[in-house]
Amino acid sequence: MIPHARRIMASSFTVVPFAPAHLPALADLWVATWAKTMPEIDFEARRPWFLDHIAELHGHGAETHVALDAPAGAPAGFVIIDPRTGYLDQLAVAPAHWGQGAAEALMDAAKRRAPGGIALDVNQDNPRAVAFYKRLGFEIASAGQNPMSGRAIWRMEWRPAA
């Protein structure tokens, strides 16, 4: 079995590699997660962008890993990581699964796929996410602006312990 294809157990979630059959549920999850996080933005209207974006990322070598709710087998969250660059493009967990370990399981998978380090951009006005990444050892490296929304972002980075 190739290393990134192994199943990873964490709390009540199993992390598996993306399969095309996951895509409709991941799009629903992405819309629901962002709508709860930033209700002032119409993420349903951004669904086509997300579907095109994930296809483009996969076309350039990024990988999606999906956390399945162990009892139901339904997607509870996903992470998109480019193992070559260490850039984490997306981490989304369904609001019903917040605080239950899915995000940690997905980040463990991302760290295994990019063991040299991970960089990501997070909205500065999303303190819950910033605190989560800090708890996992990420540090703020710089400030910037999201080109799509215009919102202020932090570039955060994680490097393995030396």
Among 39, 105, 125, residue whose Cα is nearest residue 31: 39
Residue 161 pLDDT: 86
Residue 11 pLDDT: 61
Tokens describing residue 15: 């992390």
Residue 105 pLDDT: 95
State the pTM of this model.
0.90
Q: Where are the domains of the chain?
A: 3-115
pLDDT higher than 50, residue 151 = yes
- As a whole number, the mean pLDDT across the chain is 91
Among 140, 87, 94, residue whose Cα is nearest residue 110: 87
Amino acid at 2: I
**Tens digit of pLDDT for each residue in 78-99?**
999 999 999 999 999 999 999 9
Pick the CATH number of 3-115 from 3.40.1160.10, 3.40.47.10, 1.10.390.10, 3.40.630.30: 3.40.630.30
pLDDT higher than 50, residue 12 = yes
pLDDT higher than 60, residue 9 = no
